[in-house]
Amino acid sequence: MAPSMALNHRLIISTSNHRGTNSFVGGRIPLKPHRAYPLRCARETRLRVSASAAPPKRVAVVGGGPAGLTFALALSKLNNGAGAENIQVFEQYGSLKPTLGAGFNINGGAAILCKLGLDKELKEIGNPMQRVLARTVTGDPLFDVNIPKILPDSLKFNGDPVAYTVMRSDLQAVLESKLPEGMVRTSAQVIDVFETGMGVRLRLADGSTSDEFDLVVGCDGIRSLIRAAVTNSTAPVAAPVYSGIRILFAVAPLGTYPKADPGEVHQWFGDGAYALAYSGGKGERGRDMLALCVADGSKVAENEAWAEGSGREQCTAMLQAAAMPEELVDLVGASERIFDIGVHYHNTLPRWTNGSKLVLLGDSAHAMPPFMGQGANQAIQDAYCLAEKLGQVGGEYESMEEAIVAYEKVRQVPTAAIMQISRLNGWIETQGGIGATLRDLLFKVLGVLGIPAQIFLQNAVPRV
């Protein structure tokens, strides 16, 4: 399609510093398209708006999560800033919440961040992953993966492995520190997005309205305001379905959980339950982590805001019911905070864009079940890929719309595959009764064949 030079593009990204962002009343997101220029489907938008042969000039990022901050950093670095003249990050809270969530493993995402010049910072905040050791609750070994030994060059930087566990708050702080002062605006909750004819504006909770932009990129979590607008323009999305699996996360002081090496990740399998114990990050801000996954048919709430709970006694009881090792019980007893999460499965979306003005990345596009540890990794890869494609408008791609389609083609297949693998993995890991016996036998055989290492790499290797 021949591009028109009549329109300069600007960009908004909507993201969050947790999986659920813009609050809403009565369970409905208050998305009301402007009465003069309602948000429409991709086809209608293409008929009304000329495509630009230039990368976006103005970029707004709504939220301070790893995905949005990575996108802002990538867009400012790639292709000499990818043509962006003004990038702003809108964060709904008064600050980036330091205790939100817990720690996670970062591998493919770490490789991307190293490309953006954060290799030194990752070494400072990251706890290098050395080993994944899986056992039954009786101590019977199932498989043992030596992480540095299996990593390919794509998961190394300057010859060093880039597989870490980090605290979410530490990663956010590093990303924010690399953005110019004043780029992050706090207490700026987005409650609406609407077209203005020549672009798009955001309406904030304080009653103000943003400047005009040309593209909204939504990485605002599983309750995404932008996804609601995209799906209103394309096709309805089925409500998420409870998986039957509940996860209790415990965060305790570093050193609470004993292990031979700080880089060891321990997996314990019991009847209807699976526990993961590891150290997230290092130093004063590092913490020991427990994720207890149990089969639970009571339809536990998703808790997308990661609100802290008071489930210490309940978590302890569940550990003891599954005959988990006593050191896990001790970790929960020493925990500083507990999070109670009901895992819900979200359907994949056929499109991540309405065609020209709205596009999604991270959990807003593909809410990942946590059983493969790939949510943050894939969101970071999304952010890098989208920034790179947008920076190539006017060169590799004739228009921003074409660049967005190219981004979808690169990222949709691997993320959809990981979502499905994660669902299967969660189901297998939380089997009870004879299912637990068969699970343990299966894992032992797979361990002998080296399959766990292959699965780790299949999901960890970046695809951008």
Residues 263, 373, single domain; the answer is no
Give me the sign of the Cα torsion angle 149, 150, 152, 156: negative
Question: Measured between alpha carbons, how far is residue 26 from residues 29, 138, 238, 300 in Å?
Answer: 8, 47, 18, 19
Other Cβ atoms less than 10 A from the Cβ of 395: the count is 11
The answer on 410 and 285 residing in a single domain is: no
Residues 270-289 as b or e (16 or more Cβ within 10 Å = b): bbbbbbbbbbbbbeebbbbb
Say if residues 234 and 351 touch (Cβ distance below 8 Å). yes
CA angle 278, 280, 286 (to 5 degrees): 125
Element (H, E) at 289: strand 287-295
Given a contact cutoff of 8 angstroms between Cβ atoms, the answer to whether 349 and 333 are in contact is no
Q: Are residues 318 and 373 in the same domain?
A: no
Please check whether residues 256 and 316 belong to one and the same domain: yes
Assess if residue 2 is contained within a domain: no
Smallest Cα–Cα separation from 171: which of 377, 309, 363, 361?
377
Helix (H) or strand (E) holding 193: strand 190-195
Is position 181 within any domain? no
Q: Look at residue 155 and tell me if it is in a domain.
A: yes
Tell me if 144 sits within 8 A of 190, measured CB to CB: no
Question: What is the residue-level pLDDT of the chain in tens, covering all 464 positions?
Answer: 443 333 334 444 444 444 443 333 333 333 444 333 344 333 333 323 345 667 777 777 777 889 999 998 998 887 665 567 778 888 888 877 655 557 899 999 999 999 999 999 999 999 999 999 999 999 999 999 999 999 999 999 999 999 999 998 899 999 999 988 888 888 988 899 888 877 788 999 999 999 888 788 887 888 888 888 888 766 667 788 999 999 999 999 999 998 878 999 999 999 999 999 999 998 888 999 999 999 998 888 887 767 677 688 999 999 999 999 999 999 999 999 999 999 999 988 888 988 778 889 999 899 999 999 999 999 999 999 999 998 898 889 998 889 999 999 999 999 999 999 999 999 999 999 999 999 999 999 999 999 999 999 999 999 99
| Residue 145 within any structural domain of the chain | yes
Distance CA(224)–CA(222), nearest Å, equals 5
Residue range(s) defining the domain that contains residue 158: 103-167+241-345+431-460
The answer to whether position 177 is within a domain reads no
* CATH (domain of 351): 3.50.50.60
* β-pairing verdict for 58-62 and 86-90: parallel
Q: Is residue 175 part of a domain?
A: no
Q: Are residues 263 and 123 in the same domain?
A: yes
How many CB atoms lie under 10 A from the CB of residue 367? Answer: 24
180 within some domain: no
Least Cα distance to 103 among 365, 346, 246, 285 occurs for: 285
For residue 425, tell me if it sits in a domain: no
Residues 401 and 321 in one domain: no
Quickly tell me which residue has 């055989």 as its tokens: 445
Looking at residue 107, the DSSP 8-state letter turns out to be S
- Whether residue 151 is found in the same domain as residue 217: no
Phi-psi region of 53 (alpha: psi -120 to 50; beta: other; left: phi over 0): alpha
One domain, residues 339 and 355: no
pTM of the predicted model, to two decimals?
0.86
248-267: pLDDT as tens digits: 999 999 999 988 789 999 99
pLDDT for residue 355: 76
Residues 133 and 249 in one domain: yes
pLDDT of 219 reads: 78
Query: What is the DSSP annotation of 131-156?
Result: EEEEEETT--EEEEEEHHHH--GGGE
pLDDT attached to residue 95: 77
What is the tally of structural domains in the chain? 2
Tell how far CA 40 is from the center of its chain: 27
Reading the block at residue 36, the tokens are: 């003069």
- Do residue 138 and residue 253 come from a single domain? yes
- Quick check: 39 and 358 in contact, CB under 8 A? yes
CA distances for 438 relative to 257, 410, 430, angstroms: 29, 37, 12
| CA distance linking residue 7 with residue 212, whole number of Å | 13
Tell me which amino acid residue 1 is. M
Residue (of 61, 70, 53) closest to 11 by Cα position: 61
pLDDT at 21: 39
First-last CA distance in the chain: 25
Residues 197 and 157 in one domain: no
Residues 154 and 66 in one domain: no
Name the nearest CA neighbour of 404 among 4, 9, 5, 135.
Answer: 9
CA separation, residue 245 to residues 216, 223, 314 (Å): 34, 20, 15
